[in-house]
Amino acid sequence: DQQVKQNSPSLSVQEGRISILNCDYTNSMFDYFLWYKKYPAEGPTFLISISSIKDKNEDGRFTVFLNKSAKHLSLHIVPSQPGDSAVYFCAAKFQGAQKLVFGQGTRLTINP
């Protein structure tokens, strides 16, 4: 049973426009959500996170939005740059636990 779902396997966006990556979850006991970015031949790297007590967290061009009632979070990248082309994983942590549950990943391609 996939508790964290990224329903879009791929997304293509023009350079300079906004990229929006989506993630849905099923368990209301998650208390932290994270986004990881993965380039080919490299391990995933941490990008941005948000606590379940917040609805928005911003870091430069990256903003994560959390809608707890809909059990949905999204990552916005503005403006999108060619170096943003990568696979993005959404992850969630259970309250009181120290493990992360990952989504399937979304491959983002930024076109010049």
Partner 1 sequence: DADVTQTPRNRITKTGKRIMLECSQTKGHDRMYWYRQDPGLGLRLIYYSFDVKDINKGEISDGYSVSRQAQAKFSLSLESAIPNQTALYFCATSDPGTAGNTIYFGEGSWLTVV
Q: Which residues contact 69 (CB under 8 A, 6 or more apart)?
A: none
53: contact with partner 1 by CB under 8 A: no
Contact 108, 85 (CB under 8 A): yes
Q: Which of residues 5-24 bind partner 1 (CB under 8 A)?
A: 6, 9
Comparison of 51 and 67: residue with beta carbon closer to partner 1: 51
Name which position in 32, 61, 68, 74 contacts partner 1 (CB under 8 A): 32
Name which position in 8, 71, 100, 109 contacts partner 1 (CB under 8 A): 100
For residue 59, count other CB atoms closer than 10 A to its CB. Answer: 10
Comparison of 43 and 112: residue with beta carbon closer to partner 1: 43
Which residues, listed in sequence order, are joined to residue 77 by a DSSP beta bridge? 19, 62
Sequence letter at residue 82: P
Q: Least distance (Å) from partner 1 to the CB of residue 40?
A: 10
CA dist 35 and 63 (Å) reads 10
Name which position in 26, 45, 95, 111 contacts partner 1 (CB under 8 A): 45
Binding mask 77-96 for partner 1 (x = CB under 8 A): ------------x-x-x---
CA dist 98 and 1 (Å) reads 20
